[in-house]
Chains A and B, each alone.
Chain A
Amino acid sequence: MRPIFNYIDRPSPIHRLTGATKLCCLLLWSFAAMTSYDTRLLAFLAAAGVAVFVLSRLRISDIRFLLGFVTVFMVLNNVLVFAFSPEHGVGLYGTRHVLFSLGGRWVVTKEQLFYHLNLVLKYLAMLPVVMIFICTTQPSEFAASLNRIGVKYTVAYSVALALRYIPDIQQEYHEISQAQQARGIEMSKKESLLRRLKAASAILIPLILSSMDRIDVISNAMELRGFGKNKRRSWYMARPFRPADFAAMGLCALLLAAAIFLNIHNGTRFWNPFI
């Protein structure tokens, strides 16, 4: 089975940052990319993301599998936007430069193409940092960092439990599914959708009932060890901040500040080159 959050142990300046720093940077970066539709800022974020990607010594081959998903999702989303709202860009930018027509109401305009460029840039601005975060942060450090940035430790612990038990549950699902298939359950395209759903339930029910037992066992074990007694807890994987951490967080905060400044300066979230 393929590991889902594939941490790649290849020392680099990015790997040396603490998990909390990287999570904080990811959030600041994604808010910057989310709030702004300023093409210049998005292009800068995308370019900077690629630079950090190189700095983190990851290779394209590490993320090829994920890249495929994102590309499909991005293309599909763009096609849907155009199919449903070919005049969306015109509405946003307020001018209309017709390039050519695809028949019916699907007229290609400069504004629409520019809007699509922005959509694609938004993905490209997010993609490198998400990949870097996934590949350079150990899952167990992730939970510790959630607590560090202010999430209650019981919730952070839930996330840690989820990450810890995903492989186990995946394995158990696989075993139950094989056992049920050996007893004649069909889940492929050969069956009708309704029967497939029922077949899925035949796997789910044992899985869920055994998970309920698991919840009992784990919560008893945690209770016996006094979990939740104190207001705070320490984390095995937590590391102290170093100057590089503050620098990284400062830079990302500047990016978000730039996004907010541009939104106010432009008067809207969109940068409009047409007027």
Chain B
Amino acid sequence: MKKSPIVTVVAIGIGAALFFVLGRFVAIPSPVPNTNVALQYGLLAFMTALFGPLAGALIGLIGHALIDFSYGWGIWWSWVIASGVFGIIFGLLAKGFGVSAALAEGQFGGREIARFNLAQLLSHLVAWGVVAPGLDVLIYAEPANKVFLQCLVGGLGNIVTTAIVGTLLCVAYAAAKPKKGSLKEEK
């Protein structure tokens, strides 16, 4: 089934709103002071797997920019862009690994879980290991070791929450979707 482009527009809007609400108001306190667990990346991975890389990139960009805006420090471009980059790369990988297609059919078993998590691991590594710290040094001229540590902590947290929340969301979504061939003719 081909999705209409309008669905993507709406999915980006609602996805960004969800991303914002999770990132801004749903704070699960973590053991590290002043740091909350970022659930929104689990959601971002799920939405990206379902609606494709373009939607993923824009949900990440818009959602993250709105969060930054609502805190009042303007937009921290380097991290906002990193969220967008995560969306693109993960979207492409999920498509390439066949996770997106399986999820749309309502199939999300062990094989898909493994591939989903491999894809999210790789995308988070690029986004928080290369893009975010690189841009921080380039744009804001901050000390490299400080931004790498910040991104390392943030990135590892994102990988863990995506692994747990993202996987659970996909499994729940697949379970709620009627399977192909689930209807049988009565004899």
Contact = CB atoms under 8 A, between A and B. Distances in A.
Nearest to A126: B74
Contact of A269 (B5, B26, B141): B141
A204 B12 contact: no
Contacts of A200: 26, 28, 39, 165
A200 B16 CA distance: 19
Nearest to B171: A205
B28 A30 contact: no
Interface in B152-177: 161, 164-165, 168-169, 172-173, 176
A197 B37 contact: yes
A173 B21 contact: yes
B169 A70 contact: no
Interface stretch (B58-66, B84-92, B115-123): B58-66
A219 B26 contact: no
B173 A209 contact: yes
Contact of A201 (B14, B24, B169): B169
Interface in B18-65: 18, 20-22, 24-26, 28-31, 34, 37, 39, 42-43, 46, 58, 62-63
Interface of B: 4-7, 9-14, 16-18, 20-22, 24-26, 28-31, 34, 37, 39, 42-43, 46, 58, 62-63, 66, 69-75, 77, 139-146, 149-150, 161, 164-165, 168-169, 172-173, 176
Shortest Cβ-Cβ A-B pairs, 9 listed = A161-B13, A85-B143, A66-B72, A84-B146, A162-B16, A158-B12, A219-B10, A158-B13, A165-B17
21 contacts: A34-B77, A34-B140, A81-B146, A85-B145, A127-B72, A130-B69, A134-B72, A155-B12, A155-B58, A158-B62, A159-B62, A166-B20, A166-B66, A170-B25, A197-B161, A200-B39, A204-B22, A208-B173, A219-B10, A219-B11, A228-B5
